[in-house]
Amino acid sequence: HVMGIYRSPAGNIDDAINIMSQSLEETKAESSPLILMGDINIDSMKPDRNTAKLNEILALHNITRIHLPPTRITPHSKTSIDCLCTNLDPTDIVTNVINTGLSDHTAQTCKVL
């Protein structure tokens, strides 16, 4: 499975994580390969309660958030709020971040080996 996600910065984080968890249960993420990508607006470069809660829910589904460099770059900040998460062995995927110039977010690619 490939799942695309988006959470508005104004959206409730707890609600979004619970909905994501329900969606992962529906896809039977524990028993089939899964790649989850999108803009979750939870900065992996700033460990806090939100990052911990997301990682906890992902772990319940045997999913890991792959470390990405900054994916949203502005003149005043660099954050990694876009995510690439998978239950595949991290050595079996290659990720890349591409500055397309389309927005203040980069593009993220994921190649399964």
Backbone angles phi, psi at 25, to 5 degrees: -65, -40
Query: What is the per-residue burial (b if ≥16 Cβ within 10 Å, else e) of 4-24?
Result: ebebeeeeebeebbeebbeeb
**Mean of the per-residue pLDDT values for the chain?**
94
Query: What does the pLDDT read at residue 28?
Result: 83
Q: Residue 45 pLDDT more than 90?
A: yes
The two counts, helices (H) then strands (E), for the chain are 2, 8
Q: Residue 51 pLDDT more than 80?
A: yes
Strand-pair partners of 109: 96
Span 9-25, pLDDT tens digits = 999 999 999 999 999 99
Q: Residue 30 pLDDT more than 90?
A: no
What pTM does this model have?
0.91
Query: What does the pLDDT read at residue 111?
Result: 95
Read off the pLDDT band of 102 (50, 70, 90).
confident
Chain centroid, CA 104 distance in Å: 17
Read off the pLDDT band of 42 (50, 70, 90).
very high
What domains can you pick out in the chain, each with its CATH number?
2-112 (3.60.10.10)
